[in-house]
Structure 1
Amino acid sequence: MGLIRSVTDLLLPRYCKVCGRRLDTGEQHLCISCFLGMPRLEYLPEELSLAERILLTERNVVRAASMLKYEKESDYSKIIYHLKYYNHPSVGSWLAEIGARELRDKGFLDGVEMIIPLPLSSVKQRRRGYNQSAYIAEGISRVIEIPVADCIVTREVSNQKQAGLGRFQRWNNAEGLFSVAQPESLAGRHLLVVDDVMTTGATLCSLIQTMEKASPDIRISVFTLAIVE
């Protein structure tokens, strides 16, 4: 396998998603220097995480965590651009696996029965070719061996692009986006909701509230790959 990888790297060189340096055999998506320098956020069960503070008003949310701090001007923002826009969704599943192992060891994923990626509208998914949140969910699923349920909740409309909107505009823009196709599948379950980046939490809260209305007795944990401070 090592020889095959070496030959492949020679013929089809791979490059770091952050700094652009050519990757060595054994490196995945990021060079070792950029990997070690990632703006990581540590989840501490005894402290309120940034994600939990944003989602504090959501009564069914039992815990929330994000893996990376997102800063638009940082070179590390390129990870999200590669994930969402440059047809490299595998970077999301790779990072999610790493994050899931750490969160599993801290008990964050205890009791989770189903993983729900934040859905895209059918129009946006056709245009992009994939849902980046589903790739993040698949990475977590490989670690905890819990199924990804990507058909239970659907996105009815594609809202205006959130980037560039103010906080209140984002909340107004996120109303009425989702519907639950199979509410009986949620009843009494502990769900892990997954997204790529949390900014104000408006879209996530819209999804959470839609699921709460369909099944008031659910418990929800939230994981995002990155979060804006």
Structure 2
Amino acid sequence: MHFIKRVNDVVSAVGDLFFPPVCISCGTHLFKNEIEICQMCIRRLPRTHFEKRPHDNQISIMMWGRCRINQAYALFFYKKGERVQRLLHEVKYRGNIKLGEELGRQLAKTIVRNGDNSYDEIIPIPLHPKKKIKRGFNQAEVIANGMAEIMKVPVNVSDVVRNTYTSSQTRKGRFERWQNVESIFRVKSPENLAGKHILLIDDVVTTGSTLEACVNQLSTIDNVKVSVATIACAVL
């Protein structure tokens, strides 16, 4: 295994020599510590700064009266046709796993820098098995894996499942989105999550219907606390 890894590292280094990696956003050459996107582009993206008020921001206010969440985070604001949407589409529809993991690391660094790393498990919003097979991966799981590298918190992909295959949310209104996801999640082993603080992950929140449905299922577990984090939050 070590020999194979060394061969892969050499092949990768040779490839980088002749075809240097470039930023997915601006096309400039990346430095050694940059992955898929350069630091300059990351700094130019529209930050929410929700981590400075995790109990009182657009997501937490959106969820008041709908579900019980402890803290809420989103790294960037999201508008159709702008750079954040293009980055998320690069992950979701073009399968750029490295970019998804790097965005997850950036989100985790923001959370950890503000003194909050009290989570027991990270749970990505699950895809239905058929959709995961069709796409080849779950973008929320990819983001969660990147976050776990920084936060040193395990990712749990087994205890919450999506038991209903739903159509895309993209062109649906707020009420249609809520109808589309109501009661579609199931907790397989609630005893595994009892008494824990869970960080629930998705790529983007718009109306909050998907997060609401999953949080409400998790909230039926004894003594559980649920916080949510996304790469982006739609500008309302």
Q: 1:143: how far off? A: 1.3
Deviations 1:33-66 (A, max 9, x none): 3222111121213761212112222553111010
1:224 alignment partner, one of 210, 225, 230: 230
Task: Report the RMSD for the aligned CA atoms in angstroms.
Answer: 2.2
**Structure 1 residue runs without a partner (length 5+):** none
Q: Percent identity?
A: 29
**Residues 45 and 106 in structure 1, CA contact (< 8 A), matched pair in contact too:** no
**Structure 2 residue runs without a partner (length 5+):** 1-5
Give the letter for the 2:167 counterpart: Q
Partner of 2:110: 102
2:136 alignment partner, one of 129, 134, 137: 129
1:221 and 1:187, CA in 2 relative to 1: closer, same or farther beyond 3 A? same
1:83 alignment partner, one of 78, 91, 98: 91
SS in 2 for 1:29: coil
**Residues 9 and 25 in structure 1, CA contact (< 8 A), matched pair in contact too:** no
Q: 1:136: how far off? A: 1.1
CA distance in 1, matches of 2:169, 2:67: 25
Q: 1:165: how far off? A: 0.7
1:63 aligns with 2:76: no
More helix by share: 2
Aligned pairs for 1:177-216 (under 5 A) are 177-213=184-220, 215-216=221-222
CA distance in 2, matches of 1:174, 1:142: 30
CA distance in 2, matches of 1:52, 1:152: 24
TM-score (norm 2): 0.87
1:46 and 1:12, CA in 2 relative to 1: closer, same or farther beyond 3 A? closer
For this pair of structures, how many residues does the alignment match?
226
**Residues 55 and 70 in structure 2, CA contact (< 8 A), matched pair in contact too:** no
**Residues 199 and 226 in structure 2, CA contact (< 8 A), matched pair in contact too:** yes
TM-score (norm 1): 0.90
SS in 1 for 2:101: helix
Q: 1:194: how far off? A: 0.5
Q: 1:127: how far off? A: 0.7
Deviations 1:123-155 (A, max 9, x none): 110011111111111111111211111000000
Q: 1:96: how far off? A: 1.5
Partner of 1:38: 45
